[in-house]
Structures are given as C-alpha cells and as structure tokens.
Amino acid sequence: MADIFTPWQMGELTIPNRLVRSATWEGMAQPDGTPTFETVNFTAELAEGGVGLIITGYAFIHPLGRGLPHQTGVHIDAMIGPITRISDAVHKNGGLVAMQIVHAGGQTKSDWIGGQPLAPTAMTHLAFKEELAELSKAQISDIAEMFGRAAARVKAAGFDAVQLHGAHGYLISEFLSPLTNRRTDEYGGGIENRGRFCREVYQAVRREVGPRYPVFIKLNTEDGLEGGLTPQDAALVAASLSDLGIDAIEVSGGMAAAGKKAAGRVVTKPEEEGYFFDNAKLVKAAVKCPVIVVGGWRSKSRVEAALDQVDAVSMARPFIRQPNLANLWKAGQSLQAACISCGQCLRAGMKGGVLCVQEQKEKEEAKK
C-alpha cells in the first residue's frame, strides 16, 4: 500500500502528503462576497491540522454565477485584498491552498443572483425549477474570459493553485451533460462539442496565469441521472484537458437533481467508501496528469489502498468534523474519520456558516 504521507507533484507545486481537503461552500462571506475572518480562521485551522492541500469553497466569478448565499466572490479586483487574508493565514500555518472558482450557470435561484439564471440551454432546471436563459456564443466567450480574470486574481492573492469547478451541475458541468446541454451548435451534441466550453475555460485561465502556475479541475464523471454524462465520456474530456497541459484532475460526480446519487452520499460501512473510485481509475488510464478522487473516504486503510491507483484522495465532510484528521492519522492516533455522513454541516451553512452539528451537540452534552 502507498504511504499517505509522501510528497507528490502538481505541476511545479510539491504537496507534502496525499490528503486533499475538497472544496466546500463555507457560507461565511458577506452578502457582496467578501470573505470574513470566520472564513479565514476556518481555512487556517485546516492548515494547522496537517492536510496536504486545501481547496477553498467555490468562489463566484460573476454575480450571476453565484451558487448560494454568503458565497465568497472573486469577481472583481477589490476582492484580491480580502482573499489574500486566506492565503496568508494558511501559509503562516505551514499549509498550501488553492481557490476553487465557479460560474453556477442554471443551478442557482433568481432571488440569490438578482436576475434570470444562465445555462447552455433554455429549459426548466431539473432540481430548482427555475426558468433558464440560453447563453449566446458571445456570452459563452465572455464567461470563459471571466474565469481567466478570476484565476489571475487568485494568483495575485498568493494562492498556490486555482481549481476550476467542473462538477455537480454548475455551468461547466451543465455543458458536459446531455441532460442540460441540448444545443445544436458547436457547443452541443457529442462529447467533443459538449467538452468545448470546458477546454475554452481552461485555455482562458492558462493565458492569464501563465504556463507554470498550477491549474486543475474538479470534474464530473457522472451525473447520477439516467441519460446523463457517462464516465467514459468524462474520461475523454479528462484526456483532452491533460493534452492541453492541465496539472491535475479531481474526480467527482452528481448534480443537485441526482438526490442520493449526488456527491455527499451517506457512508455507513467501509465498502461504501470511494464511490467515484472506479471512475477515477478510468480517468487515470486516460491522462498524463495526477488524479485526485473524492467520494466518501473515511478509513485510513481504504485511502491507503486507493493510493495504489490514484495520486491523492480528497475529503470534505471529515475535515469539517476533524480539521486535524491528517495529523491524527500521521501520529497513529486514529484509523477512522469521526464523520457520520449526516450532511447537517452543509445545511448549517444556510444559517450562518458550515460547521459539524454532531460536534456541537457533543460539546453541549459535555457541559450538562
């Protein structure tokens, strides 16, 4: 079995161990998207806890691309100063941090963005039931450039890398899926065309940040719905990105309408861990760059076994429950994450910020 605590390379970035904190919406930003000191402290605690690479929650590149309330923004130059506080705090604690950037596309609500959601195809959203406006070719090009400018801000703010959010039903993912992309032009039809926007976004980002700055992607490899994106098509997209020079691919899946087949599934036993691992093996066989896989990892032994076939494993909810999980595993003080997959941590975000509700209950019980 591979050792979790050996370094690996993402482009020119050396990452000290194989544990990645997968991006999670924090729900802590001000209404305009400015990150608060709660966001800074939340992220810095992960660095202190020993995780190899932290990926921040998705930051919107344009107000119409906001996915949830109290989401961090990276849409204007004025955000460079506030987000620099995050990278500075992580570096002071000895960590590495990437910022994930996103356009939510049609997977949002008009009340949250103050306008009609934009999508590859004019349709009713599968989960939110919002009426979506179809993007013109000019708008598609503009959004790709917005991704590039947002990535430049991330670099200027001292982050070690930038991650594109190409998963979970947001705009890049919507273009990849035949369920949400019903276009008949060069952006629709077969996977070559459905992957065009994803490639154009990567190329726009690369033009802005230069050839050496690490750029990677969280990529949907299935939608969790009949007739949706397949792992085989996703592997073709991954291969095309690898050929263009992307520095790593984080394998994920699911979208809001997928219900129990979305990301963030309930995991109650070891054999349920790594529910995107088979997809990751397909992607790994198709690419030259490192592959990270998310999907319900909870036990150290399962993570070690997975590292025989992928380069790193990412987790989100376990690090909300135990920001110091990496240090615990390294010291041999734990073999299992304490997370019970209840999902209440993210629901709590709507009420003032993501936190482990189970941990809060335990603390309250201890006081009695």
For 291, phi then psi, to 5°, come to -125, 130
Torsion, CA 66, CA 144, CA 311, CA 225, rounded to 10: 60
Is residue 264's pLDDT more than 90? no
- CA atoms of 353 and 25, how far apart (whole Å): 9
Say if residue 63 is exposed, middle or buried (CB neighbours under 10 Å; 0-12, 13-18, 19+): middle
For 252, phi then psi, to 5°, come to -145, -165
The predicted-structure confidence for 284-304, as pLDDT tens digits, reads as follows 999 999 999 999 989 999 999
pLDDT band at residue 266, thresholds of 50, 70 and 90?
A: confident
Domains of the chain in start order, with CATH, are: 8-367 (3.20.20.70)
pLDDT score at 368: 64
- Contact residues for 258 (Cβ-Cβ < 8 A; gap 6+): 223, 224, 225
pLDDT score at 366: 62
pTM of the model: 0.95
* Residues facing residue 251 across a β-bridge: 219, 293
The length of the chain is 368
| Residues designated catalytic | 170
In this predicted structure, which of 147-161, 307-321, 351-365 has the lowest mean pLDDT? Answer: 351-365
- Which amino acid, 328? L
For 13, phi then psi, to 5°, come to -90, 125
C-beta separation of 219 from 250 below 8 A: yes
C-beta separation of 167 from 222 below 8 A: no
The predicted-structure confidence for 223-257, as pLDDT tens digits, reads as follows 999 999 999 999 999 999 999 999 999 999 999 88
Is residue 114's pLDDT more than 90? yes
Average pLDDT for residues 256-268, to the nearest whole number?
82
C-beta separation of 98 from 52 below 8 A: no
pLDDT score at 293: 97
C-beta separation of 166 from 105 below 8 A: no
Q: CA nearest 92: which of 41, 17, 152?
A: 41
Is residue 344's pLDDT more than 90? no
pLDDT score at 364: 63
Is residue 80's pLDDT more than 70? yes
Given 3-state DSSP classes, what are the helix, strand and coil percentages for the chain, each rounded to the nearest 5? 40, 15, 45
First CA to last CA distance, the chain = 44
pLDDT score at 350: 63
